[in-house]
Each structure stands twice: as C-alpha cells, then as structure tokens.
Amino acid sequence: MTHVLVEHFRKHRLLAIIRTDSARCALGIGRSIIAGGVRLVEVTLDTPGAEQVVGELRLCGDEVLVGCGTVLTPEAARRAIGWGAHFIVSPHTDVRIIEVARAAGVLAMSGALTPNEIVAAYQAGADLIKIFPIAPVGGLAYLNALRGPFSDLPLVPTGGIGEADFADYLGAGALAVGVGHSLAPEREVAKGRWSTIANRASEWLVRLGDQNRTSDGCLAVPEHR
C-alpha cells in the first residue's frame, strides 16, 4: 500500500503544510488549495481541531492525500491514523512511529538534516525523508550537495521554501517539496481571501505541469466581505 502512496507523492510533488490557529482557517486553506489543484495536504497536529480538519478534507476526493504532521510520538501517530490520515510526518526519525505507520498501511515521512540522520531514517524504514529545515542550512545548494551521495533516496526538502525556488528544488531531484505560509500567506488567510489562495495554488501547479484544478470535489469557503 505505501508504495502507491509514494507514487502519489512522486506524481503530484507539491505538499502543502497547514499550520494555523483555528480549524476554520485550516479548513479554508485546505479547501482552497485543493480547489486550486493541490493533491498532497499535511495538517499539523498542533492545529486546533486537527481531527475535524483531516476528516473534512478527506471528503474532498479520492485523489487527495491528507496526512498529519508534527507527529512526535507513537501515540500521536496512532491518533492521527485513527482520524484517517494517509501519511504521518515527523520532524525527526523515530523507528517506533515508522512501525506504527507501516502496521497501519500508511506512509511514514521522517525528518532528517545531516547525512548521518538521512541514512538513519532510510535504514529505519522511512518511506520518504523530510529534509528539515532546509533553508537555514543552505537551501538549494545543500540539497544539491546531498543529491550526490543520496541520489536514489526519496528526499522531501521543507522549511523556508517559497514561490521563487520551489520548482528549483524539484528540478534538482527532490521527490517532492513541502511548503507552508508561502502558498497561503497569513495576511490572506486572515482576510479570508480563499479564491486568491486557490488561484495561487493553481499557478504554482501550472509551473510544474500538474494541473488538477477542480470545482466539484471541494469548494473553497466564501470570501469575507
């Protein structure tokens, strides 16, 4: 099962990370980016109402994978899987979390930064390896350096990636990239500019040749007036 999920990441490549201070905002972001064509959505566990958000976003269509991030313990992983998460993302590598995910047939993405940590994540059985935080340690140049010895590993750089460089990371060999506020800026979320966020998501995907814009599976909530 997990190999199918990995291929979904390989196909769609843009992982949108939702971390906000209310379930309403999280749902607004999620529905908007999905309407714009995003098919990989991570809801962090510290988002209020994360269970509700995951459940409602899962209703947006079979092509949308919804997972949970900032999963720090095996217990948190089990909780997220119980909500219906398709994948589990941790900022670190914990073999116990990986084992919980594998037992449930969901994808495990483990965090790593240094070469030693990357190898440890791979040996522990992580399906994908989250390179976090990428920007503070050199960004694209750091990924290029890693791709030399680790060209066959499924790396997903995350942290500080934005509109100006997300496509460059993918061009450098990342299997996917994780993006957060750069896709759904806080100022737009605060004003409920959901159509603006949906349009931005669509524009980013056009640059990747991944055009999945839809209006029927998951509609954005109305704009604030």
98 membership: H or E segment, kind and range? helix 95-104
pLDDT for position 208: 87
- Would you say 168 and 204 are in contact if contact means Cβ atoms under 8 Å apart? no
| Domain parsing of the chain, residue ranges | 2-208
Instruction: Quote the mean pLDDT of the chain.
Output: 94
pLDDT for position 181: 96
- The residue-averaged pLDDT of 160-168 equals 96
Using alpha carbons, select from 111, 69, 110 the residue that is nearest to residue 86: 69
- Say which CATH architecture domain 2-208 belongs to: Alpha-Beta Barrel (3.20)
Q: What residues act catalytically? A: 42, 130
| DSSP code at position 43 | E
User: What is the per-residue pLDDT across 47-69, written as a single tens digit (0 to 9) for each?
Assistant: 999 999 999 999 999 999 999 99
Rg (CA), the chain: 16
User: What is the per-residue pLDDT across 165-202, written as a single tens digit (0 to 9) for each?
Assistant: 999 999 999 999 999 999 999 999 999 999 999 999 99
- Would you say 17 and 179 are in contact if contact means Cβ atoms under 8 Å apart? yes
CA gap 26, 43 in Å, rounded: 8
| pLDDT exceeds cutoff 60 at 7 | yes
- The residue-averaged pLDDT of 197-225 equals 69
| pLDDT exceeds cutoff 80 at 91 | yes
Residues 6+ apart with CB under 8 A from 68: 42, 43, 44, 45, 50, 54, 76, 80, 83, 85, 87, 88, 89
CA angle 57, 42, 140 (to 5 degrees): 145
